[in-house]
Amino acid sequence: MDEIRQKIREFLTDVPKEFETRGNGAWTTEIKNEFVRLGHSKRYTVCANRCQADDHEWLYDLMWLETETVAGNDLVRGAVLAMEIEWGGWEDILYDFEKLLVANTKYKVMIFQEYQEDNVKTVADKLIERIQRFTNPIPQERYLFIAYDRQAHRFSLRNFPEAQAEML
């Protein structure tokens, strides 16, 4: 996740300059395309809509899959990363996030926006509380929260475990 985090940090540093003028749909596509590039660099099959993925959206907004071809058929060997993007309010964020709780993947990425750094932290804290209360976690799962602060016009990254926030 450290390498992924570094590449995402580099990508998101320049995003806020244009984020609000281009709209949520355009930046959803840009963020997905960055995750597609990262997934391809790791030789994963990437599933997502409205971007340069290998296949259409499947279960989550974006997924990285380990696949193999056997007798001319592509088989899913495992799921590595699941991502949800939600630009709406708390109820919409929570709805999408709860899908990540049950994802059978090591890496889970939640992207959302809030107004003010305190609200970003509050949402991330509430999501972490949901993780801690979840009774069936995947061993060694890792969460990455990517939050856009609409007041400060910047993204922040936060891991769980090791929930250290980092402002870009």
Q: Block means of pLDDT (10 residues each) for the chain, length 168 residues?
A: 75 66 76 89 90 81 93 91 94 96 94 90 95 89 91 87 57
Predicted local confidence at residue 167, as pLDDT:
47
Number of independent structural domains in the chain:
1
Residues 6+ apart with CB under 8 A from 18: none
Predicted local confidence at residue 168, as pLDDT:
40
> For residue 59, what are its two tokens?
């279960």
Predicted local confidence at residue 20, as pLDDT:
64
Domain span at residue 32?
A: 2-167
Predicted local confidence at residue 16, as pLDDT:
57
Q: Judging by DSSP bridges, how do beta strands 142-149 and 107-114 pair with one another? A: parallel
Predicted local confidence at residue 15, as pLDDT:
63
